[in-house]
Amino acid sequence: MTKPKSMDDIIALLKRRGFIYQGSEIYGGAAGLYDFGPYGVELLNNLKQNWWKANVQARPDYVGLDSAMFKNPKVWKASGHVDGFADPLVECKNCNTRLRVDKELEKLGIFADEKMSEEEIKKLWDENKDKVKCPGCKKPEWSEPKKFNLLVKSNLGDFTEKNEEPVYLPGEACQGIYLNFKNVVDTCRVKIPFGIAQIGKAFRNEISPRNFLFRCREFEQADTQYFVKPHDNVENYQRIKQEQWGWLLSLGLKEENLKWHQHENLVFYAKDAWDIEYNYPSYGFDELMGIHDRSDYDLSQHMKFSGTDLNYFDQTANEKYIPWILETSMGLGRLFLAVISDAYNVETLNNGSERTVLKLNPELAPVKYAVFPLLKNKPELVEKAKEVFNKLSQKYVCEFDDNGNIGKRYRRQDEIGTPKCIVIDFDTLEDGTVAVRDRDTTEQIRVKIEEL
Ligand code: ATP
């Protein structure tokens, strides 16, 4: 028997077991910022490695990149973020709660277009604000909606002194890819169609960071940008959509928890935009990954603002053009939350006791093997267990645990998703075999140490 999943229980587990901590917790915490603990960073790194393998190393037509986070301030002007990367905000004058107008209207089935002016948004808001509940108080008194830019300002040496624009932290990771398109074409043997992939941090002054890792102010994005000949977008777009869906399934996510959502209001440069949504416990379906057909907008803008020719010379077709771009962009924190939520189970065992278990894909599990001596006070068992640990830890992330009874040690490993627990007992000393216990079935088999 399994219990329905609740996000509060999952968050409590992630804290209790050292996956995720609130940012700056000893100072009272910082909204929208989280730190990955010892098990969290292992899982996060496994997700990144898996993504990198599938999207870069296993593909002849993709290459990787890691660009600097700080960029010339003109980049964010060219990208449209300085003028257009803004969410409409209202504040309750009674309790100071801030809400995103577009998200509140969406809950009422009304879709505010990103291109709408403050005036148009105000009209929509005024018509509907009486239906919006304030999470902070019973009698909200709303301010006028105002557009609030999400870019996070910083300062950096020369830029701060010489430029009129402030220096920004990246609002999205993908700009580094557009900036290096020409470098990659000039220095690597790539030919259109090809893709550039990057994992990078993004920072957004989110009005109301909420839902744990789902909406943070600092997060990491895994992006691919696929460059195609103009009008060569439709088939490639379909292929990319299918591949990303297939990759999410290959991680072990259940298909019934994934859903496609097509954007109704397209930004002016986009030809098509789809999200893959995940069914987060307690929150419901919401965006995990965006897949966007962006036309030649990005490279044209950077060509205009930088004055550098970003045309591509296609030798096969003997023509010059600005390539069109097909983008995939996924928040790794949202993926982390989806993978944990999918794997999380509270089961009642045959003996009536309850266990919490993360049935993670073994490739993603933070710890692959836990090694236990049956008894802590028998030096020969402890010594043998250390020998097994030393052997396995050369190749895999392992954990040694001699604390508490075996049942408790199994429970601890179940909660962090360790696929196999290895017990060194008195039979080991006799015949060189160990008990290997499976996380999902809880069954045990005996295996010779050399065969581990
Ligand atoms: P939303 O509509 O939820 O604000 P978005 O459409 O602005 O998201 P994009 O700009 O397309 O998101 O970013 C690409 C991906 O980055 C998203 O699919 C999501 O996984 C992730 N992402 C975006 N904003 C955040 C955030 N504040 N916290 C965590 N991840 C985020």
Q: Which of 171, 152, 293 is nearest to 221 (CA)?
A: 171
Q: What's the pLDDT tens digit per position in 354-382?
A: 999 999 999 999 999 999 999 999 999 99
User: Read out DSSP for 425-439?
Assistant: -HHHHHHSEEEEEET
Question: Which of 59-73, 135-149, 154-168 has the least mean pLDDT?
Answer: 154-168
pLDDT at 163: 67
Residue pair 274/260 in contact by the 8 Å Cβ criterion? yes
Counting ligand 1 atoms within 8 A of each CB, the residue from 149, 219, 288, 339 with the most, and so the one to mutate, is 219
Nearest atom of ligand 1 to the alpha carbon of 209: 27
CA nearest neighbour of 105 among 59, 62, 142, 67: 142
Q: Is the peptide bond before 193 cis (omega within 30 degrees of 0)?
A: yes
Q: Which atom of ligand 1 is nearest to the CA of 289?
A: 18
Residue 1's pLDDT is what? 63
Average pLDDT over the chain, rounded to an integer? 94
Structure tokens belonging to residue 246: 């297939």
Tell me the torsion sign for CA atoms 22, 370, 373, 385. negative
Going by CA atoms, what residue is nearest to atom 10 of ligand 1? 172
- List phi, psi (to 5°) of 78: -65, -40
Provide CB contacts within 8 A for 209, sequence distance 6+: 31, 32, 215, 216, 217
CA-CA distance, 326 to 225, in Å (whole number)? 6
Residue 331 Cα to ligand 1 midpoint, Å, equals 6
**Residue 119 pLDDT:** 86
Residue that the structure tokens 């107008």 belong to: 101
Per DSSP, the three-state class of 277 is: strand
Cα 4 to ligand 1 centroid, rounded to whole Å: 27
Q: What is the mean pLDDT of residues 99-122?
A: 85
End-to-end CA distance of the chain: 32
Give rounded-to-5 percent helix, strand, coil for the chain.
35, 30, 35
Q: What percent of the chain has pLDDT over 90?
A: 80
Tokens of residue 16, six digits: 């209790």
Q: How many CB atoms lie within 10 A of CB 303?
A: 18
The pLDDT of 83-107, averaged and rounded, is 88
DSSP string over 283-315: TEEEEEEEEEE-TTHHHHHHHHHH-----EEET
Does pLDDT of 431 surpass 80?
A: yes
Asked if 298 and 327 touch (Cβ cutoff 8 Å), the reply is no
In the structure encoding, which two tokens stand for residue 107, read together? Answer: 């809950």
Whether residue 108 contacts residue 259, with contact meaning beta carbons closer than 8 Å, is answered with no
| Ligand 1 atom 20, closest CA | 331
pLDDT of residue 419: 98
Tokens of 53: 């393998």
What is the greatest pairwise CA distance in the chain?
82
pLDDT digits (tens, 9 = 90+) for 133-150: 998 898 899 999 988 899
Residues facing 188 on adjacent strands: none
Q: What is the DSSP letter of 166?
A: P
Residues with CB under 6 A from ligand 1: 172, 204, 206, 215-216, 219, 221, 287-290, 329-331, 333-334
**pLDDT for 14-65, tens place per residue?**
999 999 999 999 999 999 999 999 999 999 999 999 999 999 999 999 999 9
- Cα-to-centroid distance, 415 and ligand 1 (Å): 29
Q: Is pLDDT larger for residue 165 or for residue 82?
A: 82
What domains, with CATH codes, occur in the chain?
7-85+156-340 (3.30.930.10), 90-149 (no CATH), 367-451 (3.40.50.800)
Residue 9 CA to ligand 1 centre (angstroms): 24
Cα–Cα distances (Å) from 165 to 156, 161, 177, 321, 371, in that order, read 12, 10, 22, 31, 56
If you average pLDDT over each of 89-93, 260-264, 325-329, 404-408, which comes out highest? Answer: 325-329
Lowest mean pLDDT among 303-307, 351-355, 393-397: 351-355
Kindly give the residue spans of alpha helices, DSSP state H, lying in 129-198.
157-162, 175-179, 181-187
Q: What digits encode the pLDDT tens for the residues 235-291?
A: 999 999 999 999 999 999 999 999 999 998 787 778 899 999 999 999 999 999 999
Q: What's the pLDDT tens digit per position in 287-338?
A: 999 999 999 999 999 999 999 999 999 999 899 999 999 999 999 999 999 9
DSSP state of 55: I
Contact 431, 380 (CB under 8 A): no
pLDDT in tens, 176-195: 999 999 999 999 989 999 99
Residues 277, 289: Cα–Cα separation, whole Å = 7
The alpha carbon of 178 and the centre of ligand 1 are apart by a number of angstroms equal to 19
